[in-house]
A = this chain, B = another copy of it.
Amino acid sequence: MRIVEVGPRDGLQNESVLVGTGAKVAYIEALAAAGLTRIEAVSFVHPRLVPQMADAERVMARVPRRDGLSYIGLVVNERGLERALDAGVDEVNVTVVTTETFSRRNQGMTIAQALDSFSVIAARARAAGLRVTATVGASFGCPFEGEVSPGDVATMARRCADSGADEIALADTIGVGVPADVRRLTAAVREVTGLPLRFHFHNTRNTGYANALAAVEVGAAALDASGGGIGGCPFAPAATGNIATEDLCYALRRSDVDTGVDLDGLVAAAAYIGERLGVPPPALLGRAGDFPPATTGRTAPGRTSRQGWVHVDSR
């Protein structure tokens, strides 16, 4: 199972603490060192709207490059694509969203305009030799219009496939979906395209990991996750982080699904960015510890207080 690391982009983009270029590069280096091979490192959007991504070019100029390590840049229009091409990304990710209200409010375009824009971006990116992902945002529900039909998602996926997408990503942007939705959506999209499917889950209502495991079962080619689960502060009223890479990879490893990543390395990367953000990352593996513990005979961290279990003496 291919994990697409999105912490440097979707994670940091949603953190209010601005992180310096050097720290972003160090976070990316740590994630790559842990074995991640597809990293959504930056987005090319207006720095006034997303100040965290203002240094996208500088980040891309400093990240480690090697064979088999692919950097993705998120773009939303042709100007963004030009910046992405200049910055030397390996892939671009373009988001279209499922409802008119969300599309207008988030991207300032109708759905038709967004699909046209995707078509132009995809053609130019492919001409430049880049792989193109179409992310269908709010596939599992819209914050403005509510329920979204699988048929509408499939229609958008088909349009993007016809316009040259190499991969379709189904995104639960607001974290409302359940595994039954994953299966339903996948079936609908599979009817219209055979492109590889990537999934993007937020753990907003504690369903993100169940959804990810369900996506694996229905043949997902890739899963997005953010190192540390950053992107939604656990102390904020509405925690909305991506699912955490280390927690996802823990669950996959214990499910006998190979990801090729090193959990200790992921936990270290998460701890690093948590320190820069000034809050513990919401991921749980770093707090609870791996299981079984690496050292024979060592007690697993976790529920170790005396109160944590039942006790014999009830007199």
Residues of A in contact with B (beta carbons under 8 Å apart): 13-14, 16, 43-46, 48-50, 52, 74-77, 79-80, 83, 95, 106-109, 137, 141, 143-144, 146-147, 173-181, 202-207, 209-210, 213, 232, 234, 236-240, 243-244, 247, 250-251, 254-256, 283-285, 287-289, 291-293, 299-315
Contacts and interface: CB of A to CB of B under 8 A. Distances in A.
A205 B307 contact: no
Contacts of A310: 43, 45, 74, 76, 95, 106-107, 137
Given A83-B314, A141-B291, A181-B254, 15 more contacts: A46-B313, A49-B306, A77-B312, A95-B310, A106-B311, A109-B312, A141-B292, A146-B291, A179-B210, A180-B255, A204-B288, A204-B302, A205-B291, A206-B284, A207-B209
A67 to B, nearest CB: 29
A48 B312 CA distance: 12
A303 B76 contact: no
Contact of A311 (B45, B83, B283, B293): B45
A75, A147, A238, A283 interface centre (most CB from chain B within 10 Å): A238
A117 to B, nearest CB: 9
Contacts of A181: 254
Contacts of A283: 206
Contact of A239 (B144, B146, B287): B287
**This chain: copies in complex:** 2
A215 B238 CA distance: 28
B210 A303 contact: no
A314 B45 CA distance: 4
Contacts of A289: 238
Contact of A303 (B80, B174, B207, B255): B174
14 contacts: A14-B307, A49-B313, A77-B312, A77-B314, A79-B315, A141-B291, A143-B300, A144-B299, A146-B292, A175-B288, A177-B254, A180-B255, A204-B302, A210-B210
B255 A179 contact: yes
Nearest to A232: B303
Nearest to A105: B309
A234 B207 CA distance: 17
Contacts of A13: 307
A175 B303 contact: yes
